[in-house]
Amino acid sequence: MDLDWSCSSTTTTTTGNPYCLLFQALSLIPISHYLLFSSFVFLSFLYRFLELHFLQDLFSLFSGSSVTLTYHPASQFYDAVVSKCRILHGTYLATPWLSSPHLQTVFLNFFGRPPFFKYRRQLFTTPDGGTVALDWLLSSDVSAGAIHMEDVVSTDESTPIVVVIPGLTSDSSSAYLKHLAYHTAKCGWKVVVSNHRGLGGVSITSDCFYNAGWTEDVRTVVNYLHKENPRAPLFVVGTSIGANILIKYLGEDGENIPVAGAVAVCSPWDLLIGDRFITRRHVQKFYDKALAIGLQGYAKLHQPHFSRLANWEGIEKSISIRDFDHHATRIVGKYETVDTYYRRCSSSTYVQSVSIPLLCISALDDPVCTREAIPWDECRANKNIVLATVKHGGHLAFFEGITASGLWWVRAVNEFLGELRASHFMHVQKKITKPTIPLDSSIDQGPYVNVKEDGMVAALNNEPKTDNVEEIQVIQDTDNDGLEMIPEEKVVKQDELETNAKIRGSPGIAQACVHDAAVHVITPFKRDLGQLSRQNRWSIWLLVYIAITTSWPLVGSALYIVFGKKIRDILPNGLVRK
């Protein structure tokens, strides 16, 4: 049946076309009402897309959300330290005009409002020839009217030192790290930001690069600082990927670590889950693309190394973190697949082995590191860990106040470190002594080879000797507006690296990592084999004696039958008759 869509201009009657009646009724509505309705629909969509929570904050009269603490019920560390932290037992209220995890995260990276100060730079050489920029900030540098009167770092033996591990492609000039360094130094402590290799304006001087699971640099730096400042308590704060590296480092070394306490902020925990999460929604893909661009920029700064060791064409075409890891990180780190790299470098598998006081801070609405990856049960089972989660906050943002001038997590970290410093729960590295094994110990206590893969070109010793670490005495002030690239020849001279390599028994820089890897495998084997030989020396001789005495009758009889006739012919007749 055909419908008549024509509408007459005469007065509408009850027998007219219903669609014409509807159209005529809609035409009577003012256009301004349509605009208001469209604006409402768009704002509703935007409100959900940006995950805004302004209305929730408004209905709660801006009282904020409480901090949820997850810990072991019998944790003495919580009772003695964390229970005294008022900030962790209070509430967090986001800046009203930043009531969104995305707005907070984007505002932090593009604005951030960092405080103004200058670092003191120290260029540090690792055992494999790599260069790490250590940016220091002292309490005297942030005090009123502070003037640099000297070009060296103060050597106060009792002042605590806070080592900061930046996030992915971040360095000491990042806004959130400046907030942390400034307020921590204000508390009277020393702060040193350990920049990743190739970041902070320093060239790459070896074939070992950092990644999400590369713990050798933080281990080497911490051991070096502990050797130079044996009476100063060392604390470590890791952020984002730096938090993942920190937790993995703590789990790998256990109690054998010169760190008094640590804080992990916005850790990704499980890199495989994070990889699935960051490609799930369109808004997450924005962060994936942004981080991939940052990684490409990092690779372009060191193109000669990446073009030689990785797939440069694939790096240029990468549009996600996974693409970059496939064409660069996986190849340099000698991983079979990207998923293999993610599994081996995830810190969630090392949580149960953490043996020092550790505070973990995460936001449940983090748009980069999802809450799905948080190991709730593992954190609750470890008496040394307290997990603090906040409903809002974004990624490393947690802006508070009407002017968004401060970060909540920075205040929480400083309060926690202060309470830990005043308590008796600071971890003290135990002296490692070789156990005395009695002579009658079982033989099954034999040598073993423990080869540990950290995902770089060559793994290094878990406990590098800081005697081999050379400190390049170059101290400079770093401008707030960013760090300029320092030419490689100014960082470290090629002939000096060749000389150091020859001292270590390697003919060049490129073979330094391979040499260290061989030493890493052979040295434990030789040590344990020698120990086994010394311990079982008497046992072996005892076994030889027992074997001879028990088998002699049979062996003697066999020898007598075989050689008896010859013996009778040789011996005199009288002796034989006797």
- Cite the active site residues: 240, 366, 395
Separation of alpha carbons 117 and 139, rounded Å? 11
**Measured distance CA(215)–CA(415) in Å, rounded:** 27
Residue 130 has phi, psi (to 5 degrees) of: -75, 160
Question: In 3-state terms, what secondary structure has residue 285?
Answer: helix
Q: Name the one residue in this structure whose structure tokens are 């084999």.
A: 529
CB of 216 closer than 8 Å to CB of 454: yes
76-104: buried (b, 16+ CB within 10 Å) or exposed (e) per residue? Answer: ebbebbbebbebbeeebbbbeebbbbbbb
Q: What does the alpha-carbon distance between residue 574 and residue 538 come to, in Å, rounded to a whole number? A: 44
Q: Which helix (H) or strand (E) holds 425?
A: none
400: burial class by Cβ within 10 Å (0-12, 13-18, 19+)? buried
What whole-number distance in Å separates Cα of residue 578 and Cα of residue 569?
14
Closest CA to 217 of 133, 334, 340: 133
- Fill in the DSSP letter of residue 486: B
| Residue 200 DSSP label | S
Are 177 and 170 contacting, i.e. CB atoms less than 8 angstroms apart? Answer: yes
The b/e string for 438-450 (b: 16+ C-beta within 10 A; e otherwise) is eeeeeeeeeeeee
Among candidate residues 195, 361, 180, the one with its CA nearest the CA of residue 265: 361
Contact status, residue 203 vs residue 485, Cβ threshold 8 Å: yes
Classified as helix, coil or strand, 388 is strand
Residue that the structure tokens 């007459």 belong to: 8
Task: Give the tokens for residue 216.
Answer: 């050798």
Cβ pair 345, 304 in contact under 8 A: no
Handedness of CA 276, 278, 283, 289 (dihedral sign): negative
Amino acid letter, 220: T
> In which residue are the tokens 């009277």 written?
188
* Closest alpha carbon to 185 in 410, 395, 479: 410
Q: Taking the CA of residue 577 as centre, how many other CA atoms within 13 Å lie in the half-sphere pointing to its CB? A: 2
Supply 153's token pair. 């770092």
The Cα 4–Cα 151 span in angstroms is 91
For residue 188, is it left (φ>0), alpha (ψ between -120 and 50) or beta?
left
